[in-house]
Structure 1
């Protein structure tokens, strides 16, 4: 069986001078890609297509995530920012378009339809998420749940491709891995106070904050020191570490129920970065 090399294969489609020089790209969805590859590579029928199916799915995900990075501010006039915005749109379209080409040339026309439907569902869920945010009707718990749901849609589309022995556990394992991934990103966000309005901490505080604190959070320009004091008051980072620790324990318990010990061991290795993250002095202090 070939070793996992999806990121290297994807670089062929992502490393263009015009893109890398003028714009940033989102993080590669490596945990979800590794999961899909691990499950498909054990399949008696689809093992020979595990690389192709995983590659096209991650390229589509990169396309969707790249589009999410496009600024909605139409007043940007500075040349570099405008070019970066345009290239994000084009790069997202290009990444998404590659899956049509690769699958059609390999003769997997049915899968094009399956992934296309998953793209539509992911975008529908994303619009619902944005609408709730805009209306300030989002709870902190719903933010995590819906973010995970959006991020898993493309990969969840392969549920019907799984062997019968793992068909029932695929959705839950995918959800738990993605939840750990989201929580780890939220911890990094909380520690740097970057894009705080989009994160779990913001919605958690908005549920409990005083009128004055809410006003400060919603202001166009915020005082970083005041923002940090609010973050510390509501213990945002410690709570996120505790949530990640709880999710990781759920994941470990779920993996122990797998009939295939080989697959279980491989999935535990995929989750090792979460364990290393939780074993740092900072995490141990917060947990």
Structure 2
């Protein structure tokens, strides 16, 4: 199994009518899954299992990401909203449990334990970040770093399975791709004031803004117009573009150090969407 077809395989588990009807699912973790598959598939001892390992890890990630979309409170009683919330809980549980079944069928019991441990660590990291955010004790830089750690943890589990020469390179590359992915998503959070709360821009302005501006951000009802003005004043979109450009350059420098031309080519192909995005006009700054 040399071709990458994991998103298509995953659809048989994610594309259920009931889920599609009542709620929306998070994006497929394509960058991280493709990276893991590339490293596993390049190892002759792991090639047969590379597709299975990457698939179950992506399904667990979708399950965790789906649970993240469940609202903290259950105050809204409107039937459609309540049903959507219930479906997110059930779908998240379903996706997270699939790895037990799929791995048990192939006798990969050790990997069940490995991913279970990683899931516990992800939840611990999320709780730490949640508490820091709730207490307003996180900087913009720390916010990005915590997201990178949280989003890469499941995929880091396989570091010890790889050839020794990649024990250091794989975690560095995984975190590099994950950081670019996190920043990429943060850029799109600048599109609307509704997505601004708790974003990198929020923490950046809270860290650098005046006392009055910080007060505006912490108000129970934030004025969308004021939020847009603050985002423009502090060049939130521009800074995120610059961050993405810097980190994709760093990432490709690391890729160049690998000793496999095939792997280098595959990783450049994975990172190509970031380069295409950076080459487009920065229309988000006008919002």
TM-score interval for Structure 1 and Structure 2 normalised by the shorter chain? over 0.9
| Aligned counterparts, 1:86-235, within 5 A | 86-235=86-235
Structure 2 counterpart SS, 1:94: helix
Q: Is the 8 A contact 1:36 1:155 kept in 2?
A: yes
CA distance in 2, matches of 1:101, 1:39: 24
Cα deviation 1:173-219 (Å, max 9, x = unaligned): 00000000000100011133332112100000001111221121112
* Most deviating of 126-135 and 156-165: 156-165
Which consecutive unaligned segments of at least 5 residues does structure 1 have? none
Instruction: Quote the RMSD (CA, aligned, Å).
Output: 1.4
Q: Is the 8 A contact 2:194 2:224 kept in 1?
A: no
CA distance in 2, matches of 1:194, 1:277: 23
CA distance in 2, matches of 1:25, 1:198: 20
4+ runs of 1 displaced by more than 3 Å? none
- Give the structure 1 partner of residue 12 of structure 2: 12
CA distance in 1, matches of 2:49, 2:74: 42
Q: CA deviation at 1:5?
A: 0.5
- Give the structure 1 partner of residue 61 of structure 2: 61
CA distance in 2, matches of 1:107, 1:72: 37
Structure 2 counterpart SS, 1:271: helix
Q: Is the 8 A contact 1:126 1:150 kept in 2?
A: yes
Which consecutive unaligned segments of at least 5 residues does structure 2 have? none
- Give the structure 1 partner of residue 250 of structure 2: 250
Cα deviation 1:82-135 (Å, max 9, x = unaligned): 010011000000001100000000000000000000000000000000000000
TM-score, normalization: structure 2?
Answer: 0.97
CA distance in 1, matches of 2:162, 2:198: 34
Q: Is the 8 A contact 2:152 2:178 kept in 1?
A: yes
| Aligned counterparts, 1:42-61, within 5 A | 42-61=42-61
Report how many aligned residue pairs link the two structures. 286
Q: Is the 8 A contact 1:103 1:111 kept in 2?
A: yes
CA distance in 1, matches of 2:220, 2:81: 20
Q: Is the 8 A contact 1:165 1:259 kept in 2?
A: no
Cα deviation 1:114-171 (Å, max 9, x = unaligned): 0000000000000000000000001000000000000000000000111122222000
Q: Is the 8 A contact 1:115 1:157 kept in 2?
A: yes
- Do structure 1's residue 279 and structure 2's residue 268 form an aligned pair? no
Cα deviation 1:61-83 (Å, max 9, x = unaligned): 00000000000122111000001
Structure 2 counterpart SS, 1:281: coil
Q: Is the 8 A contact 1:191 1:237 kept in 2?
A: no
CA distance in 2, matches of 1:166, 1:194: 41
- Give the structure 2 partner of residue 84 of structure 1: 84
